[in-house]
């Protein structure tokens, strides 16, 4: 899977489900992909954390009713309004740990 070529420490085997643009009829920010994940994993939408580096990723999360994380890659964009912001993927761990403690 081409998207994973950018990551050296994770593989497709690390995920129970991967949904790509080839798997859904309507692209982001339509929430179909998130709905498919929720149905496949039998989880509530609020339990899914949408992570992305583009405004459509945040809009997709909002449209689906799940929390969003915006990966800034060092670019602070005022036009994007996520639930969380991180500069690097390593920032996800703190968000996940804190969110799990609150449940």
pLDDT tens per residue across span 18-74: 888 888 779 999 999 999 999 999 999 999 999 999 999 999 999 999 999 999 988
Containing structural domain, residue 10:
2-102
- Both tokens of 51, joined, read 């992570």
Calpha distance 91→79 (Å, rounded): 21
| Residue 101 scores a pLDDT above 70 | no
pLDDT in the model for residue 85: 94
Residues 6+ apart with CB under 8 A from 40: 16, 17
| Domain containing residue 32: CATH number | 3.40.50.1000
> How many structural domains compose the chain?
1
**51-40-30 Cα angle (round to 5):** 50
Are 92 and 69 contacting, i.e. CB atoms less than 8 angstroms apart? yes
pLDDT tier at 86, thresholds 50, 70, 90: very high
Predicted model pTM: 0.82
Which alpha helices (H) appear in 1-103, and where do they start and end?
32-41, 55-64, 92-102
Helix orientation angle between 32-41 and 55-64, rounded to the nearest 10 degrees: 60
């Amino acid at each position: 899977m081409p998207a994973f070529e950018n990551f050296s420490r994770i593989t497709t085997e690390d995920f129970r489900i991967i949904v790509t643009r080839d798997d859904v009829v309507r692209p982001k920010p339509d929430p179909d992909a998130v709905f498919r994940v929720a149905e496949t994993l039998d989880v509530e939408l609020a339990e899914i954390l949408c992570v992305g580096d583009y405004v459509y990723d945040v809009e997709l999360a909002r449209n689906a009713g799940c929390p969003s994380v915006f990966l800034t890659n060092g670019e602070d964009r005022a036009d994007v309004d996520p639930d969380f912001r991180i500069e690097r993927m390593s920032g996800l761990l703190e968000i996940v740990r804190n969110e799990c403690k609150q449940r």
